[in-house]
Amino acid sequence: MLREMRTIRLISNETGTISDSVHTKVKVHFDLVETQDFIDGVPDLEFSFGNLRFGDEAKPQISSLVRRRAPLALSGGGIQTTILLNGPNAFTVMSVIKEIRIDDSALAA
């Protein structure tokens, strides 16, 4: 049985926001790595994780979000997903990564 892990998406230094259900929004820069295991060439488990960077003014909000250990929404870089903070600068993806696109008609409105 041949097991191989492949990187299927890599997002680097994108601007985005993380938010919770209480309307806390924090602007961040993030990196995201999406991987998938293959067993004998057949797709198996997916795992995604990443890093966050933010300004000093966001540190109190980030610390509060880390202590709560609640799922957060991450949007930016053409994606939207749910994450769980592992610490102030690292996260694990908890849901499907949705690609989002803003079409020109939405920008014109």
Q: Residue 69: what pLDDT? A: 87
Mean pLDDT of 54-83: 91
Provide the number of structural domains found in the chain.
1
Q: Residue 10: what pLDDT? A: 95
**Domain boundaries, position 32:** 3-108
Out of 2-6, 22-26, 92-96, 105-109, pick the least confident.
105-109
Cα 39 to Cα 53: distance, rounded to the nearest angstrom: 34
Mean pLDDT of 9-19: 95
Confidence band of 52 (pLDDT split at 50, 70, 90): very high
Which has the closest alpha carbon to 32: 106, 94, 103? Answer: 94
Under DSSP, the state recorded for 86 is S
Which has the closest alpha carbon to 33: 101, 98, 89, 97? Answer: 97
Cα 56 to Cα 59: distance, rounded to the nearest angstrom: 5
Whole-model pTM: value is: 0.83
Distance from CA of residue 85 to its chain's centroid? 10
Confidence band of 24 (pLDDT split at 50, 70, 90): confident
5-15 b/e with 16+ CB inside 10 Å = b?
eeeeeebeebe
Residue type, 38: F
Confidence band of 90 (pLDDT split at 50, 70, 90): very high
